[in-house]
Amino acid sequence: MQHNNINVSYENEPSRDPDFTVNYKAPFNAEPRQDVLVQQFITPTEKFYVRNHAPVPDIKGESYALKVDGLVGNPLILSLNDIKNKFEKVTINASIQCAGNRRTMMSEYKKVKGVGWGIASLSTASWSGCRLRDVLEYAKAFTKNEGALHAVFWGLDFGCPEDNGKPYGSSITMEKAMDLDGDVLLAYDMNGEPLTRDHGYPLRVVAPGIIGARSVKWLDKVTVSSQESESFFQRRDYKIFHNGVNWDNVEKYWDKTPSLQELSIQSAICIPAPNSTLYLPFTITGYATSGGGRKVERVDISLDGGETWDYAELMGEDKGVCNKYWSWVLFKYTITKLPQLQNKDHQKIRLVCRAWDSASNTQPKDVKDIWNLRGVMNNSWHFVDITVLNQSVKNKL
Ligand code: MTE
């Protein structure tokens, strides 16, 4: 296949869950059904959303080698066995969320460019591997005062059309990488099994609390640097431009606009689906998550489009051994009565959710206030329009 003058082959892709909603076929981008997403706290691996920018490389664990170089006293080449045997194995639960989650809703307000994601481009897994911090200490990474400011990652997936066929790359700060409570892993297991090809076999970064784009899969190299990654995906993409930036003037803003790191506060209603017709009682189910390890403290539900609110019940919060909150919470809210329905056959209502975190961050009401050219970080109030039928109508049928 040829796109943007780059020849790439998608003939050797792994098999995938037929139930996925495929948002883009090649490179493969898919999310689970939203009702399936919130069935479990830990997402089964085959249901975990997939966000690829290029063909999936086919890497053999036996010949794999991770390079560590740059501002280090002891450059390294490590085999998969070295990584498993030389460093302590750590397991954390963490959600990964794409910065493009809920882009389709932003596009409904005003068209944006990018893969059209619904509300399910995030998932939660139990990840095992070694700490990036331990590897960087072993490599004798320089300190901040010596100029070591960024941990730069390169993947082994060549052919990203946006970046002229270069491999995918990204970086995080050394502050995050070296933070004892930062929990950045070089993960080789997902939900107790070796990573699957789609999720980065044999080794990937899991950088919890920050946008999924920084959790580089099929990890080739870690370079300690004074500069951010030079990758397109760090310097050009995954940035929130203000709403006056368009495709004619964007170049002027590339360097001025910071690259995204920590995620913001987010929530969405997964059940019921938009435009459902229901009888009372019924239960709303969804997810809420925040960035930087901040705890989701509260999810508010409105049955009247955001005029009045009540608290949802939070379920399934499991921060495991971590000191911070890296995983989503699932929430539910059961509606047994609807005053608006009295003496009527049916009532159309707008369900809304919004979450709050431990820094009192909450979601903006309107998507138009955060609209941006690339459609990233849409965390506006999530709403679902439904029709509720009166029970007496059901009895008459
Ligand atoms: N790493 C590589 N090497 N190539 C990629 O295309 N996509 C990134 C990140 N790491 C990507 C990558 C993006 S944008 C996201 S959101 C996550 O991987 C998705 O991880 P997943 O496919 O395991 O859900």
- Asked if residue 32 has a cis previous peptide bond (ω within 30° of 0), the answer is no
Mean pLDDT of the region 328-336:
97
pLDDT of the residue at 163: 84
pLDDT of the residue at 397: 58
pLDDT of the residue at 161: 80
231 lines ligand 1 (CB under 6 A): no
Work out the widest C-alpha separation in the chain, in whole angstroms.
79
CA of 282 to the centre of ligand 1 (A): 36
DSSP code per residue over 85-145: HHS--EEEEEEEE-TTTTHHHHHHHS---S----S--EEEEEEEEEEHHHHHHHTTBPPTT
Does the structure show a pLDDT above 80 at 172? yes
Mean pLDDT of the region 308-327:
90
Does the structure show a pLDDT above 90 at 190? yes
Q: Which of 189, 184, 183 is nearest to 202 (CA)?
A: 189
CA of 394 to the centre of ligand 1 (A): 47
Q: How far is CA 76 from the centre of its chain?
A: 30
Does the structure show a pLDDT above 90 at 347? yes
53 lines ligand 1 (CB under 6 A): yes
Distance in angstroms (rounded) separating the CA atoms of residues 219 and 238 = 19
Mean pLDDT of the region 218-231:
98
pLDDT of the residue at 202: 98
Architecture of domain 266-396: Sandwich (2.60)
213 lines ligand 1 (CB under 6 A): yes
Q: What percent of the chain has pLDDT over 90?
A: 90
pLDDT of the residue at 339: 86
pLDDT of the residue at 364: 98
| Residue 306: burial class (beta carbons within 10 Å; 0-12, 13-18, 19+) | middle
Does the structure show a pLDDT above 90 at 99? yes
203 falls in which pLDDT band (50, 70, 90)? very high
Mean pLDDT of the region 265-274:
98
- The number of helix segments (H) and strand segments (E) in the chain equals 8, 24
Mean pLDDT of the region 181-202:
98
Rg (CA), the chain: 22
Does the structure show a pLDDT above 60 at 3? no
Convert the pLDDT of each residue in 348-396 to its tens digit.
Answer: 999 999 999 999 999 999 999 999 999 999 999 999 999 999 987 666 6
Q: What percent of the chain has pLDDT over 70?
A: 97
321 falls in which pLDDT band (50, 70, 90)? confident
Residue of 10, 37, 51, 263 to test ligand 1 pocket, by largest number of atoms within 8 Å of CB: 51
238 lines ligand 1 (CB under 6 A): no
CATH class of 2-254: alpha beta
CA of 332 to the centre of ligand 1 (A): 29
Does the structure show a pLDDT above 60 at 2? no
Convert the pLDDT of each residue in 41-81 to its tens digit.
Answer: 999 999 999 999 999 999 999 999 999 999 999 999 999 99
172 lines ligand 1 (CB under 6 A): no
pLDDT of the residue at 318: 75
Mean pLDDT of the region 280-296:
97
CA of 357 to the centre of ligand 1 (A): 26
Domain definitions of the chain by residue range = 2-254, 266-396
Distance in angstroms (rounded) separating the CA atoms of residues 271 and 145 = 50
pLDDT of the residue at 285: 98
Of the chain, the end-to-end C-alpha distance in Å amounts to: 55
CA of 219 to the centre of ligand 1 (A): 11
pLDDT of the residue at 319: 79
- Count CB neighbours of 242 within 10 A: 10
Mean pLDDT of the region 294-298:
96
Distance in angstroms (rounded) separating the CA atoms of residues 179 and 81 = 25
Distance in angstroms (rounded) separating the CA atoms of residues 272 and 28 = 27
Distance in angstroms (rounded) separating the CA atoms of residues 130 and 88 = 6
Mean pLDDT of the region 267-286:
97
159 lines ligand 1 (CB under 6 A): no
Q: How far is CA 89 from CA 134, 216, 311, 332, 373, in A?
A: 11, 19, 39, 35, 41
103 lines ligand 1 (CB under 6 A): no
